[in-house]
Amino acid sequence: MIALVLAVEMKSLLIGESAAAALDTAIRSAITDGPEVRSVIHMRTLHLGPDELLVVAKLDLGVSSVPEVARAIDAVEARVRATVPIARVIYLEPDLDRSRTPAS
């Protein structure tokens, strides 16, 4: 029975299990709780192990210079890690939310 439970758990980690809905919601809230982020364009999570979560997100930031982008990303990463400590690997990409930007 123990082997069966371990096999099921290991399979879910091997095939790339995303975070539970409650964690996903907590991460999104942490990302958008500060003034730096206008919107989350796209986000994915992936368990790298039982106590390690990868978070990848494309964000529309309300900043314009490279130093401001760096500070905004640092602030968002700190909020996510404080909210979800197992989110150990975080990649954030600044972009424009083209659904909000008028077409040229």
Domain that holds residue 46: 2-95
pLDDT tens-place string over residues 58-92: 999 988 899 999 999 999 999 999 999 999 999 99
Does residue 54 or residue 20 have the better pLDDT?
54
Does residue 2 or residue 18 have the better pLDDT?
2
Q: What are phi and psi of 21, to 5 degrees?
A: -55, -40
For residue 69, being part of any structural domain is answered with yes
Domain count, the chain: 1
Q: DSSP of 33-95, one letter per residue?
A: TSTTEEEEEEEEEEEEETTEEEEEEEEEES--SHHHHHHHHHHHHHHHHHH-TTEEEEEEEEE
The CATH number of the domain holding residue 34 is: 3.30.70.1350
For residue 82, being part of any structural domain is answered with yes
For residue 91, being part of any structural domain is answered with yes
For residue 54, being part of any structural domain is answered with yes
For residue 101, being part of any structural domain is answered with no
Q: What's the predicted TM-score (pTM) here?
A: 0.78
pLDDT for position 97: 84
For residue 80, being part of any structural domain is answered with yes
Cα separation, 95 vs 63, in Å, equals 11
For residue 67, being part of any structural domain is answered with yes
